[in-house]
């Protein structure tokens, strides 16, 4: 069984927030992870991890109501980091 590549995704999301990567870069990573069967979140994984994953399932061409703002993405990333510190 494989699990979602947390460190890779966190790094990519941080690059997205810093305008170094596009929404599509993260979206493609998420889609590829699902295709490879790497979306089994570990038992007890924080909700923020799956929330971040699902946030980027929306394609950038989708209606804006389906896309999370950078502020919302940052909030999810902060929640994930806070949960990993406890």
pLDDT tens per residue, range 25-83 = 999 998 988 888 777 776 777 788 888 888 998 888 877 778 899 999 999 999 888 87
Asked, for residue 26, whether it belongs to a domain, the answer is yes
Residue with the bigger pLDDT between 21 and 54: it is 21
Q: Averaged over 1-22, what is the pLDDT?
A: 80
For residue 1, pLDDT beyond 60: no
- pLDDT attached to residue 86: 59
User: Is 80 domain-assigned?
Assistant: yes
- Structural domain that includes position 61: 6-85
CA-to-CA distance for 73 and 13, rounded, in angstroms? 8
The number of domains in the chain is 1
pTM of the model as a whole: 0.80
């Amino acid at each position: 069984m494989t699990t979602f590549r947390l460190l890779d995704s966190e790094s990519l999301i941080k690059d997205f927030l810093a305008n170094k990567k596009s929404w599509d870069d993260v979206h493609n990573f998420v889609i590829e992870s699902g295709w490879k069967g790497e979306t089994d979140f570990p038992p007890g994984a924080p909700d923020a991890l799956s929330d971040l994953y699902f946030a980027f399932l929306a394609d950038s061409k989708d209606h804006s109501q389906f896309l999370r703002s950078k502020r919302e993405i940052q909030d999810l990333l902060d929640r994930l980091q806070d949960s990993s510190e406890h």
